[in-house]
Amino acid sequence: MYAVKLVRGYLASLAGLVGIAYGVSYLHGQSFAQTLPIFVGNPALFHMLIVAPSEELVFRFFIPLLLMVLFGLNYLVGGIIAGVAFGFAHWWAYGQNQTALSIAILAGIWQAVVVYLYSNKEESFSFKPGLLAVILGHGTYNVLVSTAPDLTLTAGAIAGLALGASYAFRREIES
Amino acid sequence: MEEVEHPYDAYLFASLGVIIFLFNMLNYLYEQNFRDLLVFVIYAISQIMALVFGAILIQAYNSRGD
């Protein structure tokens, strides 16, 4: 069950991020290429092992937990507030581009929802495997847009189809 | 939901990032590329702090009412 949730969470995270980036860019009449993140050193290592874990641990783990402890909030509420903060934290990195800012806010909220949906919460709330899934999804998205932006839409569509297929396949087995 | 569990899988993955950071830091120091070094340092510090304080917050959350 852990592996299934991890893969589904990863696919949901990647497909959602690509969908939000393309959808908001389209609505604002801007090119997707104008919303790319900063690039330092080796893109794969930098984005997968430095940027994604760092940002996700701060905005999907530390800040929601802080809100839960201080105000007794549910993870989902704390995660959505942290998701908005995640968007505003990108204000300078994206050169105050309002389209990129909108994408970052929606992406932050989406990632919090993915953590909540794909984490075990039967007896106690566990960040497993939702938090790791969004780290991998965020890292993959950043690597794609910084190394092969033309393939991003295709990768997002494949992730979305694979996620849908995983649910359809499961329903078939159960029936 | 009574308690919150530690995300050990994410801790493990993030610790890989810290190892990569240490090797890259040596490389950037050798190349005297201080701009990239600064970006790495900021990300690494925020990553380590989020890990440590997140783990402490889980303990605090779980000990409510004790």
Domain boundaries, chain A: 2-24+60-170
Task: Mutate one of A65, A90, A136, A146 to test the B interface: name it (highest B CB count within 10 A).
Answer: A65
Do residues A47 and A146 touch, judged by C-beta distance below 8 A? yes
Residue-level pLDDT at B33: 83
Nearest CA in chain A to B18: A50
* A120: closest chain B residue by CA: B5
Assign A94 a pLDDT band (cuts: 50, 70, 90): confident
Q: Nearest 5 degrees, angle CA B49-CA A109-CA A46?
A: 50
Q: Average of pLDDT values for A1-21? A: 92
Residue pLDDT, tens place only, A106-128: 999 999 999 999 998 877 888 88
Smallest Cβ–Cβ distance between A132 and the set B2, B9, B51 belongs to B9
Query: Cα separation of B6 and B20, whole Å?
Result: 23
For residue A126, give the 3-state DSSP assignment: strand
Q: A96-109: per-residue pLDDT in tens?
A: 778 888 999 999 99
Q: What is the mean pLDDT of the segment spanning A131-143?
A: 93
Q: Is the dihedral of CA B30, A135, A93, A70 positive or negative?
A: negative
Does the ipTM surpass 0.90? no
What are the φ/ψ torsions at residue A105 (nearest 5 degrees)? -65, -50
Greater model confidence, B53 or B33:
B53
- SS3 string, chain B, reads CCCEECCHHHHHHHHHHHHHHHHHHHHHHHHCCHHHHHHHHHHHHHHHHHHHHHHHHHHHHHCCCC
Look up residue B17 and give its amino acid.
G
Does position A35 have pLDDT exceeding 80, yes or no? no
What is the overall mean pLDDT for chain B? 86
How high is the pLDDT of residue A175? 63
What value does the mean pLDDT of chain A take? 87
pLDDT of residue B17: 84
Contact criterion met (CB < 8 Å) for B61 and A65: yes
CB A115 within 8 A of CB A79: yes
In this complex, which of B9, B20, B51 lies closest to A49 when CB atoms are compared? B20
Contact at CB, A135 and B58, closer than 8 angstroms: no
Indicate the residue of A49, A124, A131 with minimum beta-carbon distance to B10: A131
- Put simply, the answer to whether B53 touches A57 (Cβ < 8 Å) is no
